Amino acid sequence: MKIENLEIIDITEQGQGVAKKDDLVYFVEDVVIGEIVNIEVKEKKKNFFIGKKTKTVKSSPYYIESNCKYSKECTGCSLLNTEYSRQLELKRELVKNQISRIGNFNIEEINIKGLENPYYFRNKIELKVDENYNIGYYIKKSHKLVPIEKCLVASKTINNMLEKLLELIKKYELKGYNRKKNTGIIKNITIRSNYLDEIQLTITLSKDKFKNKEEFVNEIFKIEEVIELYFSINNRKNSEVMGEKVKQYFSKKEFTDKIGELEFKISPKSFFQVNSLNTKNLYDIALKQMKLKGRENILDLYCGIGTTTLYFGRNAKTAVGVEIVEDAVKDANVNKKLNNINNVEFVLGKSEEKIEKLLDNNIDIVIVDPPRKGLDKKLVDILGKSKIKKLEYISCNPATLSRDLKYLQEYGFKLKEIELCDMFPHTMHVETIALLQRVD
């Protein structure tokens, strides 16, 4: 079925264009807001259609030519053809709509902190390898690889590494894993860069041993910017990013990165914000909202390697960080010493299991930065029944944030401040920073 002259009136969080005609809704990939297109319907659902663009009838006023030569194939950056200022507006509108529709909050204005130059900002990427020794990204919801030689959103240090890595993979004939055939050796490559233009390289393998492994490791060692190499073994028939265990093969020095003046040791499995250019701005927005006086006791849930606990804790009386990943807690304690911050401690465990006991410690502010699924309902209920009056919520998912805000509102919390920080240019993902307060 072919539909003509559809105007793209919105963009979903997944980057699909939205169009309406004759009371029917259409979702279309690879379009720009304001564009008028002809489509071919590929899939019919109960309440909507999924279509593929066949022709641009009228170009969008927000259209720009992408500098990425892979943008027609790679699905990682869905907004590369949209003016950056319009990208920021789309994210602002997305959050306002989610907060209103799901959370029942009416927000008129939301500030968003973008980047001056929205390229080369990522300090970490995940790559796959195919059976022909190509390195690249999988197309969304598939195991089809788009080979790349350069990525416009990855740091320049990472891009410099790609060429060298590709050369070695071809030289030593290290094939990518094929899950259908259960063949090949490389399942995933994680490349991290830091402020010193150093590289931490983690390669996930289907088995521990492979031909010429020692020679391959020696060649990696010779690459000056690679200061740490890890191998992770995942021998299951899948292509997970990393297996359970990660083994270090060499470390010329510890891999650390900075947020403002603070320095952080980062292990391969530990979470660290991927946007080197905007992370400090994200944390500074939260600091501004909390208005710390230096006498507060902070409880920081889902704290990772302690970035938020240390960044905020140095402005408070005490801070306790809770994290479920053991390696991250080890890093957090190293980072505490590294930055000589002594009023902070870290607890290993699930936030929803540790919170009740920790709330007894005269806590003034709770900070949460949960994964995309948002807060556990049990945790929300404990917070709601507690005496906590101030809650700082950092979220990477406006839908689950809005749901949690609605729950918390039932316990008397009011949304006092909300701002956005663009950590993921050229996608519809955005970080939201919200202050909730309970008034007696």
Q: 8-55: per-residue pLDDT in tens?
A: 999 999 999 999 998 899 999 999 999 999 999 999 988 899 999 999
User: What confidence tens digit (pLDDT) does each residue in 358-383 have?
Assistant: 997 789 999 999 999 999 999 999 99
Give the pLDDT score at 126. Answer: 95
Say whether both 93 and 154 belong to one domain: no
Q: With pLDDT > 70 as the criterion, what percentage of the chain qualifies? A: 99
Question: Is 40:51 a contact under the CB 8 Å cutoff?
Answer: yes
In this structure, is residue 72 part of a structural domain? no
Is the pTM value of this prediction over 0.75? yes
In this structure, is residue 177 part of a structural domain? yes
In this structure, is residue 12 part of a structural domain? yes
In this structure, is residue 70 part of a structural domain? no
Please identify which residue in the block is written with the tokens 């650390």. Answer: 256
Say whether both 50 and 188 belong to one domain: no
Residue 178 has pLDDT above 90, yes or no: no
3-state secondary structure of 383: helix
Give the pLDDT score at 239. Answer: 65
- Give me the mean pLDDT over the 384-396 stretch: 95
Say whether both 54 and 112 belong to one domain: no
Query: Which residue type, as a one-letter code, is found at position 89?
Result: E
Residue 440 has pLDDT above 70, yes or no: no
User: What confidence tens digit (pLDDT) does each residue in 297-319 have?
Assistant: 999 999 999 999 999 999 999 99
Say whether both 428 and 308 belong to one domain: yes
Q: What's the burial of 190, exposed, middle or buried (CB within 10 Å: 0-12/13-18/19+)?
A: buried
In this structure, is residue 228 part of a structural domain? yes
Residue 180 has pLDDT above 90, yes or no: no
Say whether both 342 and 395 belong to one domain: yes
In this structure, is residue 265 part of a structural domain? no
Give the pLDDT score at 243. Answer: 81
Residue 141 has pLDDT above 80, yes or no: no
Q: With pLDDT > 90 as the criterion, what percentage of the chain qualifies? A: 85
Name the token pair of 381. 């209920």
Say whether both 51 and 182 belong to one domain: no
- Annotate 297-322 with b (16+ C-beta within 10 A) or e (fewer): bbbbbbbbbbbbbbbbbbebebbbbb
Alpha-carbon gap, residue 287 to 296, rounded angstroms: 13
CA 75 remoteness from chain centre:
16
Q: What's the burial of 180, exposed, middle or buried (CB within 10 Å: 0-12/13-18/19+)?
A: exposed
In this structure, is residue 71 part of a structural domain? no
Give the pLDDT score at 236. Answer: 81
Domains: count for the chain: 3
Say whether both 130 and 99 belong to one domain: no
- Give me the mean pLDDT over the 126-144 stretch: 90
The residue range of the domain holding 371 is: 88-116+275-438
Residue 396 annotated to the active site: yes
Q: Are strands 262-265 and 297-301 parallel, antiparallel or unpaired?
A: unpaired
Alpha-carbon gap, residue 18 to 425, rounded angstroms: 20
Give the pLDDT score at 311. Answer: 97
Say whether both 382 and 310 belong to one domain: yes
Q: Could you tell me which residue, 314 or 440, shows the higher pLDDT?
A: 314
Q: Are strands 431-438 and 413-421 parallel, antiparallel or unpaired?
A: antiparallel
Catalytic residue among 74, 77, 396, 421: 396
Say whether both 418 and 338 belong to one domain: yes
- Give me the mean pLDDT over the 217-241 stretch: 90
Say whether both 380 and 428 belong to one domain: yes
